[in-house]
Amino acid sequence: MFYFVTQSSFKMEEKDAYAELSSIRQLMERSAKFISLSGLSGVLAGIYALAGAFLAYTIVYGNSRSLDYRDNYVNDADVLPQLFLIAVVVLVLSLGTGIYLTIRQAKKKGERFWNPVSKRLVTNMAIPLITGGLLLLIFIIRGQFDFVASACLIFYGLSLIAASQFTFTDVKWLGCGEIVLGLLAAAFPGYGLIFWVFGFGLLHILYGTIMHFKYNQ
């Protein structure tokens, strides 16, 4: 009888140990990673970027046929503010949808939107992003446009890699992609818009779609 009792508690212990270990692992993961990032917001950000790039293209190159001279150049006094405005609108729209969809996702998953992990994610992302933003402003003010597209992509990529520690590791690959495109953009000046379309448009749509099907469903 005594033997039987110890035997059964022995068995319980083993089951408990398994359950305990896996629940600890889960909790450590869940407490250190913010998993409510929305894949859909990536797709939408990509679409905004494509629309913005298209608008920018029509402003700079106009509707002229390819053999004509361009209508405008980037550094024309009236073109620059327009391009700047487009970039800002794209940025604000992307951030807005991103934040909105993430809050919604967090609610669905029962995760707090503003928790220690998302705080860390945002601060880690903000440092390279703000550095890059200031550098871009300096470039623009000094009238040097060669590396604007390249710096955009590189600093955005760096900020994604910094943020990826606190969320899905897939974000790191998106960041690496952006950095590679940014370096290529620096190597081929004058094709900035094309790399911009690839980096902010297509890569975002691809990444967002993968994330959506991988995690959101």
Given the rule CB under 8 A, which residues bind another protein? 10, 13-14, 17-18, 20-21, 24, 27-32, 112, 115-117
**Residue 97: partners with Cβ closer than 8 Å, 6 or more residues away:** 41, 44, 45, 48
Give least dist CB 51 to another protein, A.
38
Nearer to another protein among residue 20 and residue 146 (C-beta): 20
Give least dist CB 102 to another protein, A.
17
Nearer to another protein among residue 27 and residue 95 (C-beta): 27
- Tell me how crowded residue 63 is: count the other CB atoms within 10 A of its CB: 7
Give least dist CB 22 to another protein, A.
10
Nearer to another protein among residue 21 and residue 92 (C-beta): 21
Nearer to another protein among residue 18 and residue 191 (C-beta): 18
Length of the chain: 217
Give least dist CB 33 to another protein, A.
9
Buried b (16+ CB within 10 A) or exposed e, 104-142: ebbeeeebeeeeebbeebeebbeebbeebbebbeebeee
Q: Which DSSP letter does residue 202 get?
A: I
- Tell me how crowded residue 56 is: count the other CB atoms within 10 A of its CB: 20
